[in-house]
């Protein structure tokens, strides 16, 4: 583990600054071409702070990450084929810092994770996996791109910083996961590709880095799958939990490894389910609630310090907060909508060091 990474971690091996919950979130919206800051200090009464909209720099904005060390959000833009940095130093007055357009490498870019310690953003989409130097937030620069038959359909990315591996969900063939060596961000290389049988159209990915398990959702297999990543060069399936009702067309997923719970949303019916993952080889549903309308929930982020999950929806044009203090009894706390500023809400990140802001573990 690098010295920079150790400095980023607390004495218990958790991100430094842990203990207090997030006090604001940023929401990206692909129809409004915008990013909105939201005050979540009161999880039962959220309020909008500010919106920055730019039809060029945020053209069809998708996922977002936050570097909490320098108050910067990084947004990937699907139609814009770009990554844009946004100054969050004043959440009541958001402003653009820089935009990097890469028509080939960031073609149909949809997702992002960032390595704060090494100042690298990893973006995935139709162009494969691309590394971006974010050491100067006002001047982003291209490092490297890697693609393959599988990576050409990349959809989500999560970083294992300890082992220097990026895990990418891919939609090609039956669908699967690609492990990419990121030890040298300027020379990315594929460690292995694993294609589970009949695992159609994987959507999202979340890691339990401690137990070396990746969890993925599947749109057409109606399931959550656990994958052994103890050896990134030889991944294997542990188990899958199939439920055509509660897990129909699964999408966004978040893992609370400390409490052995995964949270997953069924895109087709808007249900949120908590999954007992205390035994990754035998998962079970703990609770399911109605969260949003069908085909609406786009993204979720989990604040494990406050025991609150946040979800954004493209039809409600807004954000919802959910009490997850008891995974067996989930309940919605609040809903904040704005049909103009958050029209087509798609991505969310929290100002909380760790996966909730970076998708890095």
CATH number of the domain encompassing residue 202? 2.130.10.10
Alpha carbon distance 263, 286 (integer Å): 10
Residue 44: inside a domain = yes
Q: Which SS3 state, helix, strand or coil, does residue 5 take? A: helix
Alpha carbon distance 106, 100 (integer Å): 9
Residue 99: inside a domain = yes
Mean pLDDT value across residues 107-129? 97
Q: 79: buried, middle or exposed (CB in 10 Å: 19+, 13-18, 0-12)?
A: middle
Mean pLDDT value across residues 106-122? 98
**Amino acid 13: pLDDT:** 30
Residue 15: inside a domain = no
Both ends of the chain: CA-CA distance in Å?
12
Residue 16: inside a domain = no
Q: What is the average pLDDT score of the chain? A: 93
**Amino acid 161: pLDDT:** 98
Residue 17: inside a domain = no
Residue 13: inside a domain = no
**pLDDT above 90 covers what percent of the chain?**
88
Of the listed ranges 7-21, 200-214, 254-268, the least confidently predicted one is 7-21
**Amino acid 10: pLDDT:** 33
Mean pLDDT value across residues 136-156? 95
> What are the structure tokens assigned to 146, written together?
């890697």
**Amino acid 19: pLDDT:** 63
Mean pLDDT value across residues 231-244? 97
Does the CA dihedral 139-133-35-24 come out positive or negative? negative
| Residue range 4-34, pLDDT digits in tens | 333 333 322 333 334 689 999 999 999 999 9
What is the domain count for the chain?
A: 1
138 is in which domain, residue-wise? 3-8+22-358
Burial 87-124 (b: 16+ CB within 10 A, else e): bbeebeebebbbbbebeebbbbbbbbbbbbbbbbbbbb
């Amino acid at each position: 583990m690098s010295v920079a990474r150790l400095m980023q971690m607390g004495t218990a091996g958790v991100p430094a600054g842990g203990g207090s919950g997030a006090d604001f979130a940023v929401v990206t919206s692909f129809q409004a071409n915008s990013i909105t800051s939201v005050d979540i200090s009161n999880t039962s009464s959220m309020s909008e702070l500010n919106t920055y909209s730019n039809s060029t720099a945020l053209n069809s904005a998708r996922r977002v990450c936050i570097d909490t060390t320098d108050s910067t959000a990084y947004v990937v833009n699907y139609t814009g084929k770009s990554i844009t940095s946004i100054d969050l130093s004043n959440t009541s007055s958001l402003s653009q810092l820089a935009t990097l357009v890469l028509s080939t490498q960031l073609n149909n870019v949809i997702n992002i994770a960032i390595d704060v310690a090494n100042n690298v953003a990893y973006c995935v989409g139709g162009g494969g996996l691309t590394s971006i130097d974010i050491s100067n937030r006002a001047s982003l620069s291209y490092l490297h791109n890697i693609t393959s038959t599988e990576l050409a359909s990349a959809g989500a990315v999560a970083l294992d910083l300890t082992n220097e591996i990026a895990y990418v969900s891919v939609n090609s063939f039956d669908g699967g996961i690609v492990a990419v060596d990121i030890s040298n961000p300027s020379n990315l290389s594929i460690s292995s590709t694993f294609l589970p049988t009949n695992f159609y159209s994987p959507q999202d990915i979340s890691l339990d880095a401690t137990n070396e398990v990746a969890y993925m959702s599947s749109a057409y297999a109606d399931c959550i799958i656990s994958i052994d990543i103890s050896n990134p060069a030889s991944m294997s399936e542990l188990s899958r939990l199939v439920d055509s009702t509660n897990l129909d067309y699964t999408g966004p997923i978040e893992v609370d490894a400390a409490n052995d719970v995964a949270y997953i949303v069924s895109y087709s019916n808007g249900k949120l389910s908590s999954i007992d993952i205390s035994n990754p080889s035998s998962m079970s549903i703990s609770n399911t609630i109605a969260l949003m309308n069908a085909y609406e929930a786009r993204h979720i982020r989990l604040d494990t310090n406050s025991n609150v999950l946040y979800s954004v929806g493209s039809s409600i044009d807004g954000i919802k907060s959910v009490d997850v203090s008891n995974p067996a009894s989930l309940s919605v706390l609040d809903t904040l909508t704005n049909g103009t500023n958050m029209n087509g809400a798609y991505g969310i990140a929290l100002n909380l060091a760790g996966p909730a802001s970076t998708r890095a573990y």
